[in-house]
């Protein structure tokens, strides 16, 4: 287990390094620091003095990879690549490119908490609701309940999340006035602003997840251990919940684990529509302002979270199924 984990961490570090390097090359090949300055200062009619001042304030006046004007280690450290790319590995994100952006690290720390408040309950409820609904359909398989349940799943997964948002805001906020249409408040007051987006996001994902889990459970119920459990006189619900669910945990962990990075990075669509100041809304704002410093940071964080998530998923396999050996 230890050797496997160390090896996966080493692979992850190399992948993260490659992604970070590719992102830096892409951003600074497509747009030079002068182009970034013009975008943030208001277009082409910007003086050379204003561009130079903007670059100095953000450290973009330095060479990209190698500073021949310095000596020793400063030839590498006094560069844009070191300060804007290598520094990310120390979680030093620097300041945003836009005037009102501020310190990226502070914004990420404060906004991540808002994203967690929405996404963590959603993640837990999603796994529970999808698994329970899928088990119910499998228990009554080949019945009308199963047929119409599958039809409902197909309908739910065929509808865009934007439809759920627009209809949900109109129905529950405008007509029934059960929840605020948008906004956010700290502390316990945040609950009333989070209930509606969590419920709508859960509904938007329920169809696809439940249909996937149902297929996993149907594959398991035809196996020998299920027939043995039934032959011993166990009730159908006991067979499904204790045996089928347990043996289907590996694909469930894979499916649900892939959603974990969104728990930290937030939902771009839902946070924007509901006015939640999370990381998802932060990315949308950065793209709108063409703030490449924030976008590069979020790409790095996304890669880091995905790598860490899939390492944890591999380790969770050995917990879910003792037959799995990590080597």
Q: Is 86 helix (H, G, I), strand (E, B) or coil?
A: helix
CA 9, 12, 16, 17 dihedral sign is positive
Distance CA 114, CA 266 (A): 8
Spatial CA neighbour of 205 closest among 298, 109, 131: 131
Q: Are 290 and 39 in contact (CB under 8 A)?
A: yes
Residue 231: count other Cβ atoms within 10 Å of its Cβ: 8
Q: Please report, in tens digits, the pLDDT of each residue of the chain (327 residues total).
A: 677 778 888 888 899 898 888 888 888 877 778 777 777 777 667 788 888 888 888 778 888 888 888 888 888 888 888 888 888 888 888 888 776 667 888 888 888 888 888 888 988 898 899 999 999 999 998 899 999 999 999 999 899 888 999 999 999 999 998 989 888 988 888 899 999 999 999 998 899 999 999 998 998 888 888 888 888 888 888 888 888 888 888 888 888 877 777 777 777 788 888 888 888 888 888 887 778 888 888 888 888 888 888 888 888 877 777 666 655
Q: Are 128 and 204 in contact (CB under 8 A)?
A: no
Alpha-carbon torsion angle 118, 124, 129, 131, nearest 10: 150
CB contact set of 260 (below 8 Å; sequence gap of 6+): 123, 305, 309, 312
Please report the beta strands in 113-182, taking only residues with DSSP state E, as ranges in sequence order: none
Distances (CA, A) of 63 to 24, 34, 56, 82: 14, 13, 12, 10
Q: What is the CA radius of gyration of the chain?
A: 25
CATH number of 106-320: 1.10.3720.10
CA 280, 281, 282, 287 dihedral sign is positive
CA 251, 316, 262, 93 dihedral sign is negative
Distances (CA, A) of 189 to 12, 117, 180, 193, 238: 39, 12, 11, 7, 40
Distances (CA, A) of 274 to 59, 117, 182, 192, 206: 35, 14, 4, 12, 20
Residue 30's pLDDT is what?
76
Residue 155's pLDDT is what?
93
pTM of the entire structure? 0.81
Length of the chain in residues, anyone? 327
């Amino acid at each position: 287990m230890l050797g496997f984990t160390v090896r996966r961490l080493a692979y992850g570090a190399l992948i993260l390094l490659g992604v970070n390097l590719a992102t830096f090359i892409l951003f600074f090949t497509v747009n030079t620091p002068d182009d970034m300055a013009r975008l943030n200062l208001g277009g082409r009619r910007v003086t050379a003095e204003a561009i130079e001042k903007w670059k100095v304030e953000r450290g973009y006046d330095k060479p990209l990879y190698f500073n021949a004007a310095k000596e020793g280690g400063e030839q590498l450290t006094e560069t844009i690549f070191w300060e804007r790319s290598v520094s990310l590995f120390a979680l030093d994100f620097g300041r945003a490119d836009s005037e009102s952006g501020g310190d990226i690290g502070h914004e990420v720390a404060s906004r991540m908490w808002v994203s967690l408040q929405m996404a963590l309950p959603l993640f837990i409820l999603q796994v529970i609701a999808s698994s329970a609904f899928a088990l119910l359909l499998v228990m009554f398989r080949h019945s009308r309940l199963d047929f119409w349940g599958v039809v409902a799943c197909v309908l739910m997964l065929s509808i865009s999340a934007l439809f759920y948002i627009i209809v949900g805001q109109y129905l529950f906020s405008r007509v029934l006035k059960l929840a605020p249409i948008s906004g956010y408040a700290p502390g316990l007051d945040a609950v009333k602003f989070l209930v509606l987006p969590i419920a709508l996001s859960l509904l938007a994902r329920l169809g696809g997840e439940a249909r996937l889990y149902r297929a996993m459970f149907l594959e398991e119920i035809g196996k020998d251990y299920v027939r043995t459990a039934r032959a011993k006189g166990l009730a159908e619900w006991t067979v499904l919940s204790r045996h089928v669910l347990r043996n289907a945990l590996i694909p469930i962990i894979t499916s649900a684990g892939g959603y974990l990075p969104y728990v930290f990075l937030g939902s771009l669509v839902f946070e924007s529509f509901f006015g939640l100041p999370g990381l998802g809304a932060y990315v949308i704002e950065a793209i709108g302002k063409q703030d490449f410093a924030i976008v590069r940071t979020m790409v790095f964080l996304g890669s880091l979270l995905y790598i860490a998530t899939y390492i944890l998923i591999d380790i969770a396999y050995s917990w879910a199924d003792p037959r799995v050996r990590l080597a």
